[in-house]
Amino acid sequence: MLDYFEENDTFVFNDTKVFPARLYGTKEKTDAKIEVFLLRELNEEMRLWDVLVEPARKIRIGNKLFFDDSGTMVAEVIDNTTSRGRTLRFLYDCPHDEFKRELYALGEAPLPHYIVDRRPATEDDMEDFQCIFAKNEGAVTTPASGMHFSREMLKRMEIRGINFAYITLHCALGNFHDIEVEDLTKHKMDSEQMFVSAEACKLVNETKQKGHHVCAVGTSVVKATETAMGTDKMLKEYEGWTNKFIFPPYEFGVADAMIANFYHPMSTLLMETAAFGGYDLVMKAYDLAVKNGYMFGCYGDAMLILDD
Protein backbone atom coordinates (compact mmCIF):
# COMPACT_ATOMS: atom_id res chain seq x y z
CA MET A 1 0.00 0.00 0.00
CA LEU A 2 2.74 2.47 0.93
CA ASP A 3 4.15 2.26 -2.59
CA TYR A 4 1.23 4.43 -3.72
CA PHE A 5 1.87 7.29 -1.29
CA GLU A 6 4.63 9.81 -0.75
CA GLU A 7 5.91 12.37 1.71
CA ASN A 8 3.31 15.01 2.69
CA ASP A 9 0.34 12.88 1.69
CA THR A 10 -2.30 12.71 4.45
CA PHE A 11 -4.31 9.78 5.79
CA VAL A 12 -7.55 10.63 7.60
CA PHE A 13 -8.57 8.24 10.39
CA ASN A 14 -11.70 7.93 12.51
CA ASP A 15 -10.61 7.88 16.16
CA THR A 16 -13.97 6.90 17.63
CA LYS A 17 -13.84 4.31 20.41
CA VAL A 18 -16.28 1.43 20.83
CA PHE A 19 -17.88 0.94 24.24
CA PRO A 20 -19.28 -2.38 25.62
CA ALA A 21 -22.81 -1.80 24.41
CA ARG A 22 -24.35 -5.28 24.62
CA LEU A 23 -25.85 -6.24 27.99
CA TYR A 24 -27.90 -9.21 29.12
CA GLY A 25 -30.53 -8.87 31.80
CA THR A 26 -33.75 -10.31 33.13
CA LYS A 27 -37.23 -8.91 33.35
CA GLU A 28 -38.80 -8.46 36.81
CA LYS A 29 -41.21 -11.17 38.01
CA THR A 30 -40.88 -13.41 34.93
CA ASP A 31 -37.06 -13.59 34.83
CA ALA A 32 -37.32 -13.59 31.03
CA LYS A 33 -33.89 -13.10 29.47
CA ILE A 34 -33.50 -9.78 27.67
CA GLU A 35 -30.70 -8.48 25.46
CA VAL A 36 -30.21 -4.73 25.77
CA PHE A 37 -28.08 -2.91 23.24
CA LEU A 38 -26.99 0.54 24.42
CA LEU A 39 -27.09 3.10 21.63
CA ARG A 40 -26.31 6.39 23.32
CA GLU A 41 -26.68 8.27 26.57
CA LEU A 42 -29.52 10.78 26.39
CA ASN A 43 -29.20 12.49 29.77
CA GLU A 44 -26.23 12.09 32.10
CA GLU A 45 -27.93 13.43 35.22
CA MET A 46 -31.08 11.32 34.86
CA ARG A 47 -29.21 8.19 33.64
CA LEU A 48 -31.35 8.01 30.48
CA TRP A 49 -30.22 5.79 27.60
CA ASP A 50 -31.52 5.11 24.13
CA VAL A 51 -31.44 1.33 23.66
CA LEU A 52 -32.65 -1.60 21.58
CA VAL A 53 -34.16 -4.63 23.30
CA GLU A 54 -34.68 -8.21 22.19
CA PRO A 55 -37.20 -9.77 22.31
CA ALA A 56 -39.05 -6.46 22.06
CA ARG A 57 -42.51 -8.00 22.49
CA LYS A 58 -41.77 -8.85 26.13
CA ILE A 59 -40.99 -5.30 27.22
CA ARG A 60 -43.50 -2.62 28.19
CA ILE A 61 -43.31 0.84 29.71
CA GLY A 62 -42.87 0.50 33.46
CA ASN A 63 -41.06 -2.83 33.33
CA LYS A 64 -37.88 -3.12 35.36
CA LEU A 65 -34.81 -4.92 34.06
CA PHE A 66 -32.07 -6.38 36.26
CA PHE A 67 -28.50 -6.70 35.02
CA ASP A 68 -26.63 -8.29 37.92
CA ASP A 69 -27.31 -10.91 40.58
CA SER A 70 -27.15 -8.39 43.41
CA GLY A 71 -29.94 -6.28 41.94
CA THR A 72 -27.75 -3.18 42.06
CA MET A 73 -27.90 -2.32 38.36
CA VAL A 74 -31.59 -1.87 37.60
CA ALA A 75 -33.27 -0.01 34.75
CA GLU A 76 -36.87 1.06 34.21
CA VAL A 77 -38.47 1.29 30.77
CA ILE A 78 -39.92 4.79 30.48
CA ASP A 79 -40.63 5.16 26.75
CA ASN A 80 -41.14 3.19 23.55
CA THR A 81 -39.50 4.97 20.64
CA THR A 82 -39.79 2.30 17.91
CA SER A 83 -40.97 -1.29 17.65
CA ARG A 84 -37.64 -2.40 19.16
CA GLY A 85 -36.27 0.83 20.62
CA ARG A 86 -36.77 1.94 24.20
CA THR A 87 -35.63 4.62 26.60
CA LEU A 88 -34.27 3.23 29.87
CA ARG A 89 -33.68 5.07 33.13
CA PHE A 90 -31.01 3.37 35.19
CA LEU A 91 -31.85 3.46 38.91
CA TYR A 92 -28.30 3.75 40.17
CA ASP A 93 -27.54 6.52 42.64
CA CYS A 94 -23.84 7.34 42.54
CA PRO A 95 -21.41 9.67 40.76
CA HIS A 96 -21.70 9.46 36.99
CA ASP A 97 -18.17 8.12 36.47
CA GLU A 98 -18.84 5.27 38.87
CA PHE A 99 -22.16 4.51 37.18
CA LYS A 100 -20.57 4.33 33.73
CA ARG A 101 -17.75 2.15 35.04
CA GLU A 102 -20.19 -0.29 36.66
CA LEU A 103 -22.49 -0.30 33.63
CA TYR A 104 -19.68 -0.99 31.18
CA ALA A 105 -18.29 -3.72 33.43
CA LEU A 106 -21.50 -5.65 32.79
CA GLY A 107 -21.37 -5.18 29.02
CA GLU A 108 -19.80 -7.06 26.16
CA ALA A 109 -18.21 -5.91 22.95
CA PRO A 110 -20.99 -5.01 20.48
CA LEU A 111 -19.87 -7.43 17.80
CA PRO A 112 -22.40 -7.76 14.97
CA HIS A 113 -24.70 -10.77 15.15
CA TYR A 114 -23.09 -12.40 12.12
CA ILE A 115 -20.08 -12.89 14.44
CA VAL A 116 -21.60 -13.56 17.87
CA ASP A 117 -24.18 -15.96 16.43
CA ARG A 118 -21.27 -18.18 15.37
CA ARG A 119 -19.16 -18.01 18.50
CA PRO A 120 -19.48 -16.76 22.09
CA ALA A 121 -18.04 -13.44 23.17
CA THR A 122 -14.56 -13.47 24.72
CA GLU A 123 -12.69 -11.24 27.16
CA ASP A 124 -10.42 -10.08 24.34
CA ASP A 125 -13.22 -8.79 22.13
CA MET A 126 -13.31 -5.27 23.55
CA GLU A 127 -9.62 -4.79 22.84
CA ASP A 128 -9.72 -6.55 19.48
CA PHE A 129 -12.79 -4.65 18.25
CA GLN A 130 -10.97 -1.31 18.31
CA CYS A 131 -8.60 0.62 16.11
CA ILE A 132 -5.25 1.13 17.79
CA PHE A 133 -5.76 4.91 17.63
CA ALA A 134 -9.28 4.77 19.13
CA LYS A 135 -9.67 7.67 21.54
CA ASN A 136 -13.12 9.27 21.74
CA GLU A 137 -15.74 6.93 23.20
CA GLY A 138 -19.16 6.70 21.60
CA ALA A 139 -19.30 4.07 18.84
CA VAL A 140 -21.30 0.83 18.86
CA THR A 141 -19.31 -0.64 16.00
CA THR A 142 -15.73 -0.10 14.99
CA PRO A 143 -14.63 1.79 11.86
CA ALA A 144 -13.38 -1.50 10.47
CA SER A 145 -11.03 -0.20 7.77
CA GLY A 146 -8.93 1.42 10.47
CA MET A 147 -8.24 -1.95 12.10
CA HIS A 148 -5.86 -2.85 9.27
CA PHE A 149 -3.33 -0.36 10.67
CA SER A 150 -0.83 -1.63 13.21
CA ARG A 151 1.60 0.47 15.22
CA GLU A 152 4.37 -0.85 12.98
CA MET A 153 2.50 0.27 9.88
CA LEU A 154 1.87 3.75 11.30
CA LYS A 155 5.55 4.04 12.18
CA ARG A 156 6.56 3.12 8.63
CA MET A 157 4.14 5.74 7.32
CA GLU A 158 5.54 8.33 9.72
CA ILE A 159 9.10 7.59 8.59
CA ARG A 160 7.99 8.08 4.98
CA GLY A 161 6.67 11.53 5.91
CA ILE A 162 2.96 10.76 5.62
CA ASN A 163 0.69 12.90 7.78
CA PHE A 164 -2.15 11.68 10.03
CA ALA A 165 -5.39 13.61 10.51
CA TYR A 166 -8.08 12.44 12.92
CA ILE A 167 -11.81 13.05 12.83
CA THR A 168 -14.46 11.48 15.06
CA LEU A 169 -17.65 9.86 13.83
CA HIS A 170 -19.41 7.59 16.31
CA CYS A 171 -20.41 4.65 14.12
CA ALA A 172 -23.99 3.53 14.74
CA LEU A 173 -25.98 0.34 14.14
CA GLY A 174 -27.41 1.77 10.93
CA ASN A 175 -24.24 0.52 9.25
CA PHE A 176 -25.74 -2.97 9.46
CA HIS A 177 -29.18 -2.08 8.07
CA ASP A 178 -29.88 -3.49 4.63
CA ILE A 179 -31.21 -1.23 1.89
CA GLU A 180 -34.80 -2.34 1.32
CA VAL A 181 -35.97 0.24 -1.22
CA GLU A 182 -35.39 0.37 -4.97
CA ASP A 183 -35.24 4.18 -4.94
CA LEU A 184 -32.08 4.90 -2.94
CA THR A 185 -33.17 8.47 -2.23
CA LYS A 186 -35.89 7.02 0.02
CA HIS A 187 -33.54 5.03 2.26
CA LYS A 188 -33.43 6.49 5.78
CA MET A 189 -30.03 6.61 7.44
CA ASP A 190 -29.42 6.62 11.19
CA SER A 191 -27.91 9.88 12.41
CA GLU A 192 -24.37 9.65 13.75
CA GLN A 193 -22.56 12.20 15.89
CA MET A 194 -19.35 13.59 14.43
CA PHE A 195 -16.59 16.10 15.14
CA VAL A 196 -14.05 17.66 12.78
CA SER A 197 -11.41 19.79 14.48
CA ALA A 198 -9.62 22.88 13.20
CA GLU A 199 -6.37 20.91 13.37
CA ALA A 200 -7.71 18.22 11.04
CA CYS A 201 -9.05 20.85 8.65
CA LYS A 202 -5.73 22.67 8.49
CA LEU A 203 -3.76 19.51 7.72
CA VAL A 204 -6.20 18.15 5.11
CA ASN A 205 -6.68 21.48 3.35
CA GLU A 206 -2.95 22.21 3.18
CA THR A 207 -2.41 18.75 1.71
CA LYS A 208 -5.03 19.40 -0.97
CA GLN A 209 -3.75 22.89 -1.76
CA LYS A 210 -0.20 21.59 -2.26
CA GLY A 211 -1.38 18.87 -4.64
CA HIS A 212 -0.74 15.89 -2.39
CA HIS A 213 -3.02 12.91 -1.79
CA VAL A 214 -5.71 12.74 0.90
CA CYS A 215 -6.64 9.14 1.74
CA ALA A 216 -9.84 8.51 3.70
CA VAL A 217 -9.59 5.38 5.83
CA GLY A 218 -13.05 3.87 5.74
CA THR A 219 -16.59 4.81 4.80
CA SER A 220 -17.14 6.69 8.07
CA VAL A 221 -14.28 9.08 7.24
CA VAL A 222 -15.63 9.66 3.74
CA LYS A 223 -19.10 10.36 5.16
CA ALA A 224 -17.71 12.75 7.76
CA THR A 225 -15.43 14.68 5.40
CA GLU A 226 -18.13 15.03 2.77
CA THR A 227 -20.56 16.24 5.44
CA ALA A 228 -18.08 18.86 6.66
CA MET A 229 -16.97 19.98 3.21
CA GLY A 230 -17.60 23.59 2.20
CA THR A 231 -18.65 24.86 -1.21
CA ASP A 232 -14.95 25.39 -1.99
CA LYS A 233 -14.38 21.65 -1.42
CA MET A 234 -12.25 22.40 1.63
CA LEU A 235 -12.80 20.72 4.98
CA LYS A 236 -14.55 22.87 7.61
CA GLU A 237 -14.77 22.55 11.39
CA TYR A 238 -17.89 20.62 12.35
CA GLU A 239 -19.64 19.47 15.49
CA GLY A 240 -23.03 17.87 15.11
CA TRP A 241 -24.78 14.97 13.41
CA THR A 242 -24.86 13.46 9.95
CA ASN A 243 -27.27 11.13 8.18
CA LYS A 244 -25.57 11.50 4.81
CA PHE A 245 -26.12 8.59 2.43
CA ILE A 246 -23.62 8.45 -0.42
CA PHE A 247 -24.43 6.31 -3.45
CA PRO A 248 -23.63 6.40 -7.18
CA PRO A 249 -23.37 8.77 -8.90
CA TYR A 250 -21.64 11.15 -6.50
CA GLU A 251 -18.90 13.75 -6.92
CA PHE A 252 -16.41 13.65 -4.04
CA GLY A 253 -14.58 16.76 -2.93
CA VAL A 254 -12.14 16.00 -0.11
CA ALA A 255 -10.36 12.65 -0.44
CA ASP A 256 -8.85 11.32 -3.66
CA ALA A 257 -8.05 7.87 -2.22
CA MET A 258 -10.00 5.53 0.03
CA ILE A 259 -9.44 2.34 1.97
CA ALA A 260 -12.60 0.27 2.29
CA ASN A 261 -13.39 -3.18 3.63
CA PHE A 262 -15.37 -5.68 1.60
CA TYR A 263 -18.92 -5.09 2.82
CA HIS A 264 -22.05 -7.19 2.72
CA PRO A 265 -24.58 -7.02 -0.14
CA MET A 266 -27.39 -4.46 0.09
CA SER A 267 -25.45 -2.34 2.59
CA THR A 268 -25.01 1.43 2.58
CA LEU A 269 -21.28 0.85 3.04
CA LEU A 270 -21.08 -1.01 -0.26
CA MET A 271 -23.05 1.75 -1.97
CA GLU A 272 -20.62 4.39 -0.73
CA THR A 273 -17.64 2.32 -1.84
CA ALA A 274 -19.20 1.88 -5.29
CA ALA A 275 -19.75 5.63 -5.52
CA PHE A 276 -16.10 6.33 -4.73
CA GLY A 277 -14.50 3.67 -6.91
CA GLY A 278 -17.08 3.46 -9.66
CA TYR A 279 -19.80 0.81 -9.64
CA ASP A 280 -18.39 -1.43 -12.38
CA LEU A 281 -14.83 -1.41 -11.06
CA VAL A 282 -15.90 -2.09 -7.47
CA MET A 283 -18.15 -4.97 -8.57
CA LYS A 284 -15.19 -6.50 -10.44
CA ALA A 285 -13.17 -6.28 -7.23
CA TYR A 286 -16.00 -7.98 -5.32
CA ASP A 287 -16.16 -10.78 -7.90
CA LEU A 288 -12.44 -11.38 -7.38
CA ALA A 289 -12.89 -11.25 -3.61
CA VAL A 290 -15.58 -13.94 -3.71
CA LYS A 291 -13.60 -16.16 -6.11
CA ASN A 292 -10.46 -15.89 -3.97
CA GLY A 293 -12.11 -16.39 -0.58
CA TYR A 294 -11.57 -12.91 0.81
CA MET A 295 -13.18 -12.13 4.15
CA PHE A 296 -16.11 -9.71 4.34
CA GLY A 297 -17.42 -7.50 7.13
CA CYS A 298 -15.87 -6.04 10.28
CA TYR A 299 -12.89 -8.39 10.42
CA GLY A 300 -12.68 -8.65 6.65
CA ASP A 301 -10.15 -7.77 3.99
CA ALA A 302 -9.82 -4.32 2.46
CA MET A 303 -9.20 -2.62 -0.87
CA LEU A 304 -7.36 0.58 -1.78
CA ILE A 305 -9.15 2.83 -4.25
CA LEU A 306 -7.08 5.49 -6.01
CA ASP A 307 -8.27 8.38 -8.15
CA ASP A 308 -6.99 7.84 -11.67
pLDDT in tens, 239-263: 999 999 999 999 999 999 999 999 9
**pLDDT value for 290:** 96
Which of 108-112, 156-160, 222-226 bottoms out in mean pLDDT, i.e. has the lowest? 108-112
Average pLDDT for 58-64: 88
Is residue 1 over pLDDT 90? no
Mapping DSSP onto H, E and C, the string for 54-117 reads ECHHHCCCCCEEECCCCCCCEEEEEEECCCCEEEEEECCCCCHHHHHHHHHHCCECCCCHHHHC
Other beta carbons within 10 Å of 149:
19
Backbone angles phi, psi at 88, to 5 degrees: -110, 145
For residue 287, name the pLDDT band (cuts at 50, 70, 90).
very high
Average pLDDT for 56-82: 85
Helix (H, G, I), strand (E, B) or coil at 216: strand
pLDDT averaged over the chain?
Answer: 92
Mapping DSSP onto H, E and C, the string for 149-201 reads CCHHHHHHHHHHCCEEEEEEECCCHHHHCECCCCCHHHCCCCCEEEEECHHHH
Within 8 A by CB and 6+ apart from 151, the residues are 132
Is residue 308 over pLDDT 70? no
Q: What's the pTM? A: 0.92
pLDDT higher at 177 or 47: 47
pLDDT higher at 134 or 94: 134
Is residue 84 over pLDDT 70? no
**pLDDT value for 175:** 78
CB of 47 within 8 A of CB of 90? yes
For residue 83, name the pLDDT band (cuts at 50, 70, 90).
low
Q: Which percentage of the chain shows pLDDT scores above 70?
A: 98
